[in-house]
Amino acid sequence: MSAELFEVTPDPERITESLRDTGYVLNTAVADIIDNSIAAGADSVFVELKLDPRGNVRFSVTDNGIGMDRNGLVNALKYGSARRPDPSSLGKFGLGLKTASTSFARRLKLTSKSENGMPAATAIWDLDLVPVQGWQVSVDSQADPIDAGLLEKHTAGTGTVVRWEKIDRLIRDYKNPSGDRAHGAIKRHVNSLRDHLAMVFQRFLDPEDTRAANVKISVNETPVDAWNPFGFGSDKLLDASIPVDLGDKTTTMHLKAFVLPRKTELQAADGDGAPALARLGNKTQGIYVYRENRLIHGPDWLNMWAQEPHFTLCRAELSFDHELDLAFQVDIKKSTIILDTALADVVFRALTPPRRAAEARYRDGQRSRARDMSDPELHAPSNAAIKDKSKSIPNATLQSTDESSGTAEIRNDHGVVKVDFVQSTSGVFVEAVDELRDGILYQPAYIGDNPGVRISKSHPYYEKVYLPNQASGNTIQALDSLLWALASAEFRSAQDSTREIFEDIRYDVSRALKKLVEDLPSPDSE
Ligand SMILES: Nc1ncnc2c1ncn2[C@@H]1O[C@H](COP(=O)(O)OP(=O)(O)OP(=O)(O)O)[C@@H](O)[C@H]1O
Ligand SMILES: [Mg+2]
């Protein structure tokens, strides 16, 4: 066989246009640009995102890093820039600057200064010139005056301005490009960007955090403050170093898990605004994954579990360094990782207990809310109805009561038997109480002189079946009647020798109902 070699040079227009659709959203794109600034040693980064009076979007990122000379500028604009010498760097693929920028803009302009006292230069990558210039870029030693001005203003010597022009994919084409709706759209982007950067670069932004170099970031001249998902008085339940076998060597990743205070606890500790600051909610629960101190993924449960309201209070931190890039299959946007099954298994087992603790804390809160929410008169109509009918329903007869031991002696067809007793004013047959022993739903008891039933407001059945139906008197009465009838039948049939059997039945019914209502929504779930 004689093989021939053929040139398969990529078509610049096809490649660069296709790479506009790698799936960047603005927040991840800007974070990628800022990665480059941090990798260049910058400690100040100024982001500008505005609408100019003519309705054009203005976007730039200015940093005071080491800057680039002419060769550096050319390398920076190359799809597949030279590999960075430092493997721990936040840059990895040689693509981020181009793909992030062209996801939103057709022209990328770099103005940079790599030596103090020397003039800045500007390099331009323009998608509309690709059909003519191919892979060639222009570098102008006469720097763009506006960006040279930004460098003057924001840096003491060296630095870089990344500017996007011809921004065609950020906001819709509004009829009035400089009208309120366009301004509103930009404002929403700015707010969301601020929140995103506060979370992604938290370890860099927080001057107290010693894990990463300190960097100041501002958006439209307003500083971005670090947002630490694990603050807010949360409890740390796990802090583990997990060995990862890489074949030729073993390295470690770090896994921590936290349980946050509930909404009401945050409010009690730090005021009404505290839950919003902690961003409590479904979308902020899960694993926050950090590569080299920068949040690259999450929060979510990495496909191990779904994000559900009862895990709202659980947040975990998974940190690793560049040595684990291959093991974690970090993608080009550096926003997705995949754990192999062995690692996923370790994380799954380690996070199960803290997740349970977070769930218990959440459910406790739901229960106390259920107690607070229930109407004290909820069972009054049932009591009136049962009082009316109870005379015609055969029942045991009350023999004696003992307040100190909380027991009553009753007589039924089988003899005398001891049952629970509580003092009460007359006319109560059904009573809702905060809690019953062993977490059961209902407990037969003589309430004053009446055969009655006590129902636990802490049982999920009360929270999920009773409370949502508070407005329907008939439903509440039907539910109460059923539980009362069960209790009353128990008084008629119980004997000392069978008491435990009845107790077991109640326990099993309560447990089954707890399971059966598990997936029903909680009223006003947080
Ligand atoms: N703000 C900056 N200051 C100095 N050099 C920069 C700056 N931004 C980019 N560069 C240079 O341009 C190169 C290309 O950047 P680009 O983001 O495309 O790739 P990368 O950061 O190496 O890898 P990745 O694709 O993972 O982001 C960088 O390697 C760096 O040399
Ligand atoms: Mg990069």
Average pLDDT score over the chain: 91
Most confident of 303-307, 317-321, 337-341, 374-378: 317-321
Determine the atom of ligand 1 nearest the C-alpha atom of 99: 18
In whole angstroms, give the CA distance from residue 373 to residue 355: 26
Residue 125 is encoded by which pair of tokens? 């990558």
From the CA of 40, which ligand is nearest? 1
Region 296-301: mean pLDDT is 91
From the CA of 94, which ligand is nearest? 1
Residue located nearest, by CA, to atom 28 of ligand 1? 76
Confidence (pLDDT) at 454: 95
In whole angstroms, give the CA distance from residue 343 to residue 347: 6
The pLDDT tens digits for 116-146 are: 888 999 999 999 999 999 999 999 999 999 9
How are beta strands 415-422 and 430-433 bridged, if at all? unpaired
The pLDDT tens digits for 448-465 are: 999 999 999 888 899 889
Q: State the CB neighbour count (10 A cutoff) for residue 205.
A: 22
Expressed in angstroms and rounded, the spacing between residue 438 Cα and the centre of ligand 1 is 61
Confidence (pLDDT) at 214: 97
Cα-flanking dihedrals φ and ψ of residue 426, to 5°? -70, 160
Determine the atom of ligand 1 nearest the C-alpha atom of 89: 21
Q: Which of 45-59, 473-487, 495-509 has the lowest mean pLDDT?
A: 495-509
Confidence (pLDDT) at 524: 55
Residue at token pair 């604009």: 77
The pLDDT tens digits for 215-240 are: 999 999 999 999 999 999 999 999 99
Delimiting residues of CATH 3.30.230 domain(s) in the chain = 235-373
For the chain, how many residues are written? 526
In whole angstroms, give the CA distance from residue 418 to residue 317: 54
Region 86-96: mean pLDDT is 83
Delimiting residues of CATH 3.30.565.10 domain(s) in the chain = 12-223
Which of 390, 407, 409 is closest to 495 using CA atoms?
Answer: 409
Give residue 318's region: left, alpha or beta (phi > 0; psi -120 to 50): beta
**For residue 380, what are the contacts with CB-CB under 8 A and spacing of at least 6?**
none
From the CA of 84, which ligand is nearest? 1
The pLDDT tens digits for 253-262 are: 999 999 999 9
Confidence (pLDDT) at 353: 95
Give residue 427's region: left, alpha or beta (phi > 0; psi -120 to 50): left
Question: Across 234-291, where does the E strand assignment appear?
Answer: 235-245, 250-259, 286-291
Burial 439-463 (b: 16+ CB within 10 A, else e): ebbbbbbbbbebbbbbbbbbbbbbb
Chain-centre distance of CA 240, in angstroms?
Answer: 21
CATH 3.30.70 applies to domain 235-373: no
CATH of domain 12-223: 3.30.565.10
Q: Which of 27-41, 81-95, 476-490 has the lowest mean pLDDT?
A: 81-95
Confidence (pLDDT) at 310: 85
Confidence (pLDDT) at 506: 92
Contact between 467 and 404 (Cβ < 8 Å): no
pLDDT at 442 over 90: yes
Expressed in angstroms and rounded, the spacing between residue 84 Cα and the centre of ligand 2 is 10
Expressed in angstroms and rounded, the spacing between residue 94 Cα and the centre of ligand 2 is 6
Region 272-300: mean pLDDT is 91
Chain-centre distance of CA 42, in angstroms?
Answer: 30
Share of the chain above pLDDT 90, in %: 67
Residue located nearest, by CA, to atom 7 of ligand 1? 36
Most confident of 138-152, 324-338, 353-367, 403-417: 138-152
pLDDT at 345 over 80: yes
Quickly state the pLDDT bin for 525 (edges 50, 70, 90): very low
Confidence (pLDDT) at 64: 97
The pLDDT tens digits for 370-405 are: 777 777 788 999 999 999 888 888 889 999 998 888
Quickly state the pLDDT bin for 526 (edges 50, 70, 90): very low
Quickly state the pLDDT bin for 153 (edges 50, 70, 90): very high
Quickly state the pLDDT bin for 46 (edges 50, 70, 90): very high
Confidence (pLDDT) at 343: 85
Contact between 90 and 292 (Cβ < 8 Å): yes
Region 494-507: mean pLDDT is 87
Quickly state the pLDDT bin for 1 (edges 50, 70, 90): low
- Which protein residues are within 6 Å of ligand 1, measured from CB? 32, 36-37, 40, 63, 65, 67-68, 75-76, 81, 84, 91-98, 160
The pLDDT tens digits for 166-201 are: 999 999 888 999 999 999 999 999 999 999 999 999
Q: Which of 36, 45, 93 to mutate to test the pocket of ligand 1 (most atoms within 8 A of CB)?
A: 36
Region 40-65: mean pLDDT is 96
